[in-house]
Each structure stands twice: as structure tokens, then as C-alpha cells.
């Protein structure tokens, strides 16, 4: 018996990284999945973002766990697209119990041709996208009347300002990741009477394509203080996506049934360094 038998989880940014890892883990624990990813490029992001084949691989992992999946290409900046994805998922899978508002971008680059656009894109995806994700599923969860759980992927940059360098990417990322903590606390109050819990997770650097790419490596090499500012207290360079997914599983399962309104670091001591 799995910890999430009979549940359906709606996950954004599901094509790779923490989203894919969480889809696979929650499926192994018995959940069916509504998986959303843009699967194309945001103009100001210079590293390669997920492509359709990445979402196909997520679907394969969920299938391999013996669970059902409804996979949709949709932009979290578009609330109508998310509403449609959830409606399709609920029509096929019957319900939605868990939301992982996980989609995000980190468009750090050595040179920013248009810092304002970078800032705006980062806020649009990482903050507005979270708002749209939660609202796409919340009313269905309320109407079901059986509670549920929402986890928003923030960052250590949502708890600390270390690593800022005046760039549009860094400013936008820190602002958005702090901003989603405010959303989380607001949603926790809104949804608690319906037994729906809302929390944030705050990873340090995670070993995914978002930070393991040539664009980030070039910026780090040119800004020698960047690596030190972003280092962890424990002697690890980065955590794995699975480490974050394990924390998410705790928060969305009955193991965390009375945990709401918390900011949970998965950060190898980054915040207290």
C-alpha cells in the first residue's frame, strides 16, 4: 500500500528536475498525475529548457510505476491554459488532491541584454505562475470536501538574499521566491477551513539542468565570488532532485497531516551559513 493511494497530483514543471522526480515518486506511492510543462523556450532564458521528449519521459516513469498520467504542454503564465489542463486531468482521473506548484526559471547569464525583460519573465513564471497554478485546482479541491495538500517550490533565495549581484535574473528570482512565501501563507489561511494544507520547500542548488548548464558555468567562472556566496554549510555542492521530492512527499502525505504554513529548507545548511 502506498502513502498516496487514490490521490491525484497536479504538478507543474513536470518534464524534468524536481517536477519529474516528484511525479515519479508520488506515482510510486500510488498517486495518478496531471503533469504540465511548457516544453519550449522562454525568450530571456539562455539555457536549454525542457522539450516535449522530456515530458514523454516523465509519462514513461509514471506508467512504469503502474499509475495513470495526463500530460499537457501549457504555460503557467496563462491561467486559462492551466484551468484547461486541470479540467482535462480531472475529467480523466476523477479528482485532484495534491498540487505541486513547481515550474520555474533561473535565467542567470554573464550578459543580460535586457535586464528588465529578464526580471519580468522571472516574476511572470516564478510568482504569477504559482498563483495561477494554485487557483486552477483550489476550487475543485474545496468542492471535493476531503482536504488536500499544496506545496510550492521556493528556494533558499526565498529565505536569504545571498548571491544577489544587481542583475534582473537575481533580483527577479529572489523577489519571486520570497513572494511565493507570502502566497503560501495567504493560501494556508484561506484553505485551512477546508482541511487543505499549504507549504513551501526551499532547496539550495539542485543537480538539475537549471543549474548544470554552460550558461551558469560561464557566469560562475567570470564571477569568482558567486560560487562562495552560493555554497552550503555541509560539504555538498548540490542536493539531488530526489532529496527535494522526499520532503514534498512528507508534506503531501499523512506523515505531514498537521503541517501547514511552514517554510521547509532542503538546503544542506545554506540558510544558516
CA-closest candidate to residue 179, choices 162, 196, 164, 157: 157
pLDDT of residue 163: 67
Q: What is the mean pLDDT of residues 52-56?
A: 98
Share of the chain above pLDDT 90, in %: 87
**Which of the 8 DSSP states describes residue 14?**
T
CA atoms within 13 A on the CB side of 151: 31
pLDDT of residue 224: 62
- For CA atoms 20, 23, 27, 29, the dihedral sign is positive
219-269 pLDDT, tens per residue?
777 766 666 667 999 999 999 999 999 999 999 999 999 999 999 999 999
User: What long-range pairs does 173-177 form, CB within 8 A, spacing at least 24?
Assistant: 173/106, 173/108, 173/122, 173/126, 175/123, 175/127, 176/104, 176/122, 176/123, 176/125, 176/126, 176/127, 177/126, 177/202
pLDDT of residue 126: 98
Alpha-helical runs (H) found in the chain = 17-28, 52-64, 79-93, 115-123, 129-144, 168-191, 214-222, 224-229, 241-252
Length of the chain measured in residues: 273
169-193 pLDDT, tens per residue?
999 999 999 999 999 999 999 999 9
- Cα(8)–Cα(216) distance, integer angstroms: 35
Q: Render the burial of 122-131: b for 16+ CB within 10 Å, e for the rest.
A: bbbbbbbbbb
Q: Pairing between strand 32-37 and 8-12?
A: parallel
- What is the pLDDT of the chain when averaged over all its residues? 95
Q: What is the mean pLDDT of residues 206-227?
A: 80
Active site residues: 173
pLDDT of residue 247: 98
Task: Supply angle C-alpha 249, 254, 258, rounded to 5.
Answer: 105
- Cα(122)–Cα(208) distance, integer angstroms: 18
Task: Categorize the per-residue pLDDT at 111 as very low, low, confident or very high, splitting at 50, 70 and 90.
Answer: confident
Superfamily (CATH H level) for 8-266: NAD(P)-binding Rossmann-like Domain (3.40.50.720)
Q: In this structure, what C-alpha cell is assigned to residue 107?
A: 535565467
3-state secondary structure 89-146: HHHHHCCCCEEEECCCCCCCCCCCCCHHHHHHHHHHHHHHHHHHHHHHHHHHHHHHCC
60-107 pLDDT, tens per residue?
999 999 999 999 999 999 999 999 999 999 999 999 999 999 999 999
Q: CB count, 10 Å around CB of 225?
A: 10
Residue 177 contacts by C-beta under 8 Å, 6 or more apart in sequence? 126, 154, 155, 157, 158, 202
Q: What is the mean pLDDT of residues 9-13?
A: 99
Q: In this structure, what C-alpha cell is assigned to residue 192?
A: 485551512
Amino acid at each position: 500500500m502506498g502513502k498516496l493511494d487514490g490521490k491525484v497530483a497536479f504538478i507543474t514543471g513536470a518534464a524534468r528536475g524536481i517536477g519529474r522526480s516528484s511525479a515519479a515518486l508520488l506515482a510510486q506511492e500510488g498517486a495518478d498525475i496531471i503533469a504540465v510543462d511548457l516544453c519550449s523556450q522562454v525568450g530571456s532564458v539562455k539555457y536549454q529548457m525542457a522539450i516535449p521528449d522530456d515530458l514523454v519521459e516523465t509519462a514513461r516513469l509514471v506508467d512504469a510505476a503502474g499509475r495513470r498520467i495526463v500530460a499537457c504542454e501549457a504555460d503557467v503564465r496563462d491561467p486559462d491554459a492551466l484551468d484547461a489542463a486541470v479540467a482535462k486531468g480531472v475529467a480523466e482521473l476523477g479528482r485532484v488532491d495534491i498540487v505541486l506548484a513547481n515550474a520555474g526559471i533561473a535565467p542567470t547569464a554573464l550578459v543580460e541584454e535586457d535586464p528588465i525583460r529578464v526580471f519580468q519573465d522571472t516574476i511572470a513564471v516564478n510568482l504569477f505562475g504559482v498563483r495561477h497554478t494554485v487557483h486552477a485546482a483550489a476550487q475543485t479541491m474545496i468542492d471535493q470536501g476531503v482536504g488536500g495538500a499544496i506545496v510550492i517550490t521556493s528556494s533558499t533565495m526565498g529565505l536569504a538574499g545571498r548571491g544577489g549581484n544587481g542583475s534582473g535574473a537575481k533580483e527577479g528570482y529572489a523577489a519571486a521566491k520570497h513572494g511565493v512565501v507570502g502566497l503560501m501563507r495567504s493560501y494556508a489561511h484561506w484553505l485551512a477551513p477546508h482541511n487543505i494544507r499549504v507549504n513551501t520547500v526551499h532547496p539550495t542548488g539542485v543537480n538539475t539542468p537549471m543549474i548544470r548548464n554552460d550558461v551558469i558555468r560561464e557566469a560562475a567562472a567570470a564571477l569568482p565570488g558567486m560560487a562562495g556566496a552560493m555554497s552550503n554549510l555541509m560539504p555538498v555542492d548540490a542536493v539531488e532532485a530526489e532529496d527535494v521530492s522526499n520532503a514534498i512527499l512528507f508534506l503531501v502525505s499523512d506523515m505531514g497531516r498537521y503541517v501547514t504554513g511552514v517554510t521547509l529548507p532542503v538546503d544542506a545548511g545554506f540558510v544558516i551559513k
